[in-house]
């Protein structure tokens, strides 16, 4: 899966998950509210009955006071009476949380119902009924919400998975189309490139005039550029089919060979090459390292100025290729390794060169450091 | 009942004495001060409201201010407004409340 696909999928899933979670929270809240309202109604109905019973008992006591002084008690509930000046007349309640503004309210362990008496038996205007809170009811609501949320999340994530597949299908098809096109094109240009290169090499330049030799050089440059592009495309299209053959070789020799290979192109832009190469033996597939080096040198030439400079250094297990070219914008630095990423339309290309570099770096667990300043140049360091 | 209580209170002197004047008189008329208290409490509820209502009734002892049984009130009608000093009347009502109050007497 391409990075752009991953990024799109990540964004889609982030938005989708936030929406799903918001929806689940909203539904859970509605369910919790309706359940707790239903629970409150059940409590209220029960406690209203207790209040009616307690009022009757208060009435009886009022009529028989002070012959009977025992405040009426019941195992099922506690109660308290207050006069109209909010003074406590008597209470058997465990909770001290008295609220004259709420008809039904909950404390930590109790549910309290409050009613106003029409007749002030024993001087009481306010009657409170208290029963222990049934936490199992609330626990059951929470349990139901948790189960529902988990199930809904699971179902929505499955739906999200299929939606995401639908979502990236057009993007995948476009990439596949491009890949197939490149693959077909690569296959088709192989033979003509080989023929051009073989025939150019067969020409005897000593028999040409100076002007004809200049023309021949241009053809050579063009054919080598084509060959580089061909190799890059071949590497990319055979991404999963490249067989790595590691051998020990001197990176310095490879660099010298590749610089020689690009010499005509370098000369054409009048670029000064400064080489500072130590011997450095590495064990790797020389074709892969060649692709890596070719792409870096090719970029250093392609994006350089006429009469520019390229410094190539091998020192302390580091390969540094520094150019005096147009540089890369800061905001584009973190995107340069993405396939088909191009930030300069003045030069040709598919935008796959640095992606190839990145793939080879990853194969050998190398480190890469890129420093660039617009209109000053770019310095690429590969660290072994 | 309250009207009767107040009617009886009308006869007390300036230096009224609850036991001597109120209780004795009520007893002689066969009107229970306790019953009067509980009937008034049923309507007036709290201490402050109770005393304020009874004070007002003592000053204006008319039938529609009464919370007592109508027949009983009519029996002692017409009633004259109490003439004793307001402070004295308040003291008598304080004593009346303290003697028969429910708060603090329930078990």
Tokens of A341: 């990423």
The predicted pLDDT at position A339 comes to 64
Beta strands in A117-216 (DSSP E): 126-132
Tell me, what's the pLDDT at A93?
Answer: 95
Dihedral of the CA atoms A328, A333, A339, A344 (nearest 10)?
-20
Tell me the three state secondary structure of residue A320.
strand
Q: Are A44 and A105 in contact (CB under 8 A)?
A: no
Across residues B30-38, what is the average pLDDT?
Answer: 85
The pLDDT score that the predictor gives to residue A119 is 92
* From B41, B46, B107, residue closest to A85, measured CB to CB: B46
Q: CB contact, 8 Å: B43 with chain A?
A: yes
CB atoms within 10 A of CB A90: 21
Flag if A89 and B43 touch (Cβ within 8 Å).
Answer: no
Is the pLDDT at B13 greater than 60? The verdict is no
Placement of tokens 């040709």 in the chain:
A348
Q: What is the pLDDT, as a whole number, of residue A217?
A: 81
Angle at A352 between CA A351 and CA A356, to 5 degrees: 150
CB-based contact A123 B105, cutoff 8 Å: no
Mutation site, A83, A85, A125, interface B, largest B CB count within 10 A? A83
Q: How close B30 comes to chain A (CA, Å)?
A: 18
Distance CA A252, CA A275 (A): 10
SS3 per residue for A190-256: HHHHHHHHHHHHHCCHHHCCHHHHHHHHHHHHHHHHHHHHHHHHHHHHCCCCCCCCCEEEEHHHHHH
Which of B32, B34, B42, B97 to mutate to probe the A interface, most A CBs <10 Å? B42
Rounded-to-integer distance, Cα B47 and Cα B55, Å: 12
Instruction: Grade residue B1 by pLDDT with cuts at 50, 70 and 90.
Output: very low
Which residues contact residue A43 at a Cβ distance below 8 angstroms, ignoring those fewer than 6 apart? A104, A111, A113, A131
Per-position b or e across A293-324, b if 16+ CB within 10 A of its CB: bbbbbbbbbbbbeeebbbbbbbeeeebbbbbb
Residue B86 has pLDDT above 90, yes or no: no
In the prediction, which pLDDT does A92 show?
A: 95
Report the DSSP pairing between strands A281-284 and A318-323.
unpaired
Task: Check if B38 contacts A (Cβ < 8 Å).
Answer: yes
Contact B38 A65 (CB under 8 A): yes
pLDDT in tens, B39-74: 899 999 899 999 999 898 888 877 777 777 777 777
* A272-277 β-sheet, strand order: A272-277, A309-315, A318-323, A377-383, A367-373
Structure tokens at A291: 């692709």
What per-residue confidence (pLDDT) applies to A240?
52
Report the percent of chain B where pLDDT is more than 90. 27
Which residue in chain B has the smallest CA separation from A84? B46
Instruction: Tell me the shortest Cα–Cα distance from B81 to chain A, in angstroms.
Output: 26
Contact assessment for residue B102 and residue A123, using Cβ atoms and an 8 Å cutoff: yes
CA nearest A92 in B: which residue? B107
pLDDT at A253: 92
In chain A, the domains with their CATH numbers are 3-133 (no CATH), 243-383 (3.30.565.10)
pLDDT on residue B8: 46
Q: How many CA atoms lie within 13 A of A243 on its CB side?
A: 1
Contact B47, B101 (CB under 8 A): yes
Q: Quick check: A121 and A55 in contact, CB under 8 A?
A: yes
Query: Exposed, middle or buried by CB within 10 Å (0-12, 13-18, 19+), for A181?
Result: exposed
Consecutive 10-residue averages of pLDDT for chain A (384 residues): 73 90 94 91 94 96 93 95 94 92 91 94 96 87 92 92 86 82 81 85 83 84 81 71 80 91 86 94 90 90 91 94 88 74 59 83 90 90 92
Q: Give the CA angle between residues A129, A130, A133 to the nearest 5°.
A: 145
Return the half-sphere exposure (C-beta side, CA atoms, 13 A cut-off) of residue A163.
13
B46 touches chain A (CB under 8 A): yes
3-class secondary structure, A82: strand
Which class for A254: exposed (0-12), middle (13-18), buried (19 or more C-beta within 10 A)? buried
In terms of CA atoms, which chain A residue is nearest residue B41? A123
Contact criterion met (CB < 8 Å) for B46 and A69:
no
| Mean pLDDT (chain B, rounded) | 78
pLDDT, tens digit, 9 for 90 and up, residues B95-106: 999 999 999 999
- pLDDT at site B6: 47
**pLDDT number for residue B9:** 46
Element (H or E) spanning A189, and its range? helix A135-202
The enclosing H or E element of A29 equals helix A3-64
Residues of A whose CB is below 8 A from B101: 123
What is residue A341's predicted lDDT score, i.e. its pLDDT? 62
Closest C-alpha to A126, from A65, A79, A66: A79
């Amino acid at each position: 899966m391409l990075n752009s696909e991953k990024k799109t999928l990540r964004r889609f899933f982030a938005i989708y998950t936030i929406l799903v979670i918001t929806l689940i929270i909203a539904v859970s809240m509605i369910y919790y509210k309706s359940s707790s309202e239903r629970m409150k109604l059940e409590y209220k109905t029960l406690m209203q009955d207790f209040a009616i019973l307690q009022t009757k008992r208060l009435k009886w006591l009022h009529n028989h006071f002070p012959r009977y002084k025992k405040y009426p008690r019941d195992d099922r509930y506690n109660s308290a009476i207050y006069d109209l000046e909010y003074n406590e007349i008597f209470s058997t309640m465990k909770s001290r949380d008295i609220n004259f503004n709420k008809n039904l309210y909950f404390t930590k362990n109790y549910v309290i119902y409050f009613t106003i008496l029409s007749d002030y038996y024993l001087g009481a205007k306010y009657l409170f009924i208290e029963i222990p809170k049934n936490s199992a009811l609330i626990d059951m609501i929470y349990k139901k919400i948790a189960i529902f949320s988990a199930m809904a999340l699971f179902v929505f994530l499955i739906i999200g998975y299929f939606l995401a597949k639908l979502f990236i299908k057009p993007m995948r098809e476009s990439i596949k189309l491009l890949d197939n096109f490149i693959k077909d094109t690569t296959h088709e240009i192989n033979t003509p490139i080989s023929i051009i290169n073989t025939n150019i090499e067969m020409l005897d330049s000593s028999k040409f005039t100076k002007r004809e030799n200049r023309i021949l050089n241009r053809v050579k440059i063009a054919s080598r550029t084509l060959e580089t592009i061909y190799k890059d495309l071949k590497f990319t299209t055979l991404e999963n089919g490249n067989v790595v053959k590691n051998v020990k070789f001197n990176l310095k020799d490879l660099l010298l060979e590749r610089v020689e290979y690009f010499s005509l192109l370098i000369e054409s832009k009048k670029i000064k090459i400064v080489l500072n190469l130590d011997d450095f033996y590495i064990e790797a597939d020389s074709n892969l390292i060649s692709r890596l080096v070719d792409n870096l040198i090719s970029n250093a030439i392609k994006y350089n100025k006429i009469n520019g400079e390229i410094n190539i250094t091998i020192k302390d297990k580091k390969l540094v290729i520094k150019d005096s070219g147009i540089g890369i914008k800061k905001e584009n630095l973190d995107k340069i390794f993405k396939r088909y990423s191009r930030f300069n339309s003045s030069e040709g290309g598919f935008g796959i060169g640095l992606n190839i570099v990145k793939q080879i770096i990853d194969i050998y667990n190398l480190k890469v450091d890129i420093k660039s300043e617009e209109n000053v140049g770019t310095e690429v360091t590969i660290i072994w | 009942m309250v009207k009767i209580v107040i009617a009886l209170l009308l006869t007390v002197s300036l230096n009224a004495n609850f036991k001597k004047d109120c209780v004795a008189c009520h007893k002689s008329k066969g009107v229970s001060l306790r019953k009067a208290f509980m009937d008034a409490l049923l309507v007036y509820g709290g201490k402050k409201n109770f005393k304020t209502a009874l004070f007002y009734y003592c000053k204006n002892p008319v039938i529609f201010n009464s919370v007592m049984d109508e027949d009983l009130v009519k029996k002692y009608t017409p009633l004259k407004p109490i003439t004793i000093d307001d402070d004295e009347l308040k003291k008598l009502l304080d004593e009346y409340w303290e003697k028969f109050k429910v708060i603090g007497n329930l078990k």
